[in-house]
Amino acid sequence: MGRIDILPKYTVKVEGGSGCLFQPINDEYSYVLTAKHVISDNNTPSIIRQYIDDNEVLVNEKLEIIGEPFRHSDDNKDAAIIKVKKVDDIESILRADLLSENKEGYYLCGHPNSRVNNAYSWRENKVSIGNRKQYGYREAELSRVATRSEIVGQSGGGIIKIEETCFLLAGIQKQMTVADAQEQLGRIDFMPLSFFDEIIDDNENELSKLFPPYIGSFERLINDIFPLVGLQVTGQRKKLIQNELKVIAKSLCEDFTPQKIIEIYKDSFLVSGTDKGVINHKQLWISFLELLSINQLHCEQKITFNELKHIHKFKKLYFTDSKEWISKLEDIYRSDLSEVEKGGLVVVGATIDVKPTVVQLDKGFIGDICTVPSKEMNISNTVTDPFNDLTIVHIFKFQKHLIENYTEFAAITAANSLQRMKDVTNGVI
């Protein structure tokens, strides 16, 4: 199944229009984001998720609504949120706030009326993001011109970009920009996610924010960290090592949350050129929690949030959407490296390249191939020679070291496991 074939699972029929599924920071319900005019005054709209499953069978799944829809209080903003019983497989759709320069590669997804008589009515139209408009709307242009009659029914549908490991939601369609008699340019107006943030702010006791649940708590990621695939020790010893690391990670969850970190550091963890929406990617925050836990493993005192800026002087995570992290070397040096001081580590994580063979770049190699002039770099004033003053490592270096030095854990017990890990991994990252 191709990536585009997964998009229907995030798209729903809402009465005579469309909607887009999204998982907020909550385990009890999911959202359907749609246009207010799609549901009008109907407080019990029919919501159907229609898609083709892995066996090429058409599925029509009726979603259960929780309470009444939440409509934007501003008559000029055509946004609405419908709470539905939790849908389990939608965490891969992340918000995109259109901060990236790349406005191409998006799709308008929905169920147009032109296909209402088809058994399977889902349709996508490729669009490029255009200019800002009154009240905060955005305009987008269809790659192939379509008339209003072809698009009617897609109102409320998502404007979604396909990435390798996630989908980025830019907004929800409102309408064709103008009537066919005036223009035939195939332009649509859509609502950015800020419209829906405003609904949530007005109903904060009943609605949760538009972020995946793990953005609210690192505890949701504890079972995803340090998989140690390939560690050649008995199952009990491997579990003991993992449990020690998970206990450390859990101790940090009270003071650290991805949401709190994003509020202060914004997108400074992203390698230059990475789409800003990737700041909410699950793998980024798995990597962050692993690095934080590694720091805590080798620190006698409990690390607090206020010490994060100090930690970044010596080790800071940078994340890229890549199949091969080494290919992003020049983008790494174009990133905001200003917090990392001379002798510090630039620790790289990636969406896809999570277990690379090469986990550290030779400084001589970097100087030979990198063509980014130091004057173009945003580096600390303590760094005079960035190719020698900074060390570039992949976050997997820590796990790789444990896996390759498995013999060091032959006699590990519950009594000595923590100290043994400290001894074996001292100075690795």
Q: Tokens for 375?
A: 């004057």
| 185 in the same domain as 244 | no
Residue where a domain terminates, one of 173, 202, 231 = 202
φ, ψ of residue 208 to 5 degrees: the values are -105, 160
Instruction: Judge whether 303 lies within some domain.
Output: yes
What is the pLDDT, as a whole number, of residue 99? 54
Residue where a domain terminates, one of 141, 168, 202 = 202
| 101 in the same domain as 77 | yes
Total number of domains constituting the chain: 2
| 131 in the same domain as 232 | no
> In angstroms, what CA-CA distances link 82 with 12, 43, 120, 196, 308?
12, 9, 23, 11, 38
| 190 in the same domain as 261 | no
| 190 in the same domain as 158 | yes
Instruction: Judge whether 7 lies within some domain.
Output: yes
| 169 in the same domain as 59 | yes
| 52 in the same domain as 163 | yes
Q: Tokens for 142?
A: 């269809």
pLDDT band at 180 (very low <50, low <70, confident <90, very high): very low
Degrees to nearest 5, angle at CA 208 with 174 and 274:
70
Average pLDDT over residues 387-416: 96
Average pLDDT over residues 381-404: 96
Domain holding 39, by residue range, is 3-202
| 218 in the same domain as 194 | no
Report the length, in residues, of the chain.
Answer: 429
Instruction: Judge whether 301 lies within some domain.
Output: yes
Task: For residue range 327-345, list pLDDT tens digits in order.
Answer: 999 999 999 999 999 999 9
For 131, half-sphere exposure in the C-beta direction (CA atoms, 13 angstrom radius) is 4
Average pLDDT over residues 386-400: 97
Q: What letter would DSSP give residue 134?
A: G
| 218 in the same domain as 197 | no
Average pLDDT over residues 220-234: 95
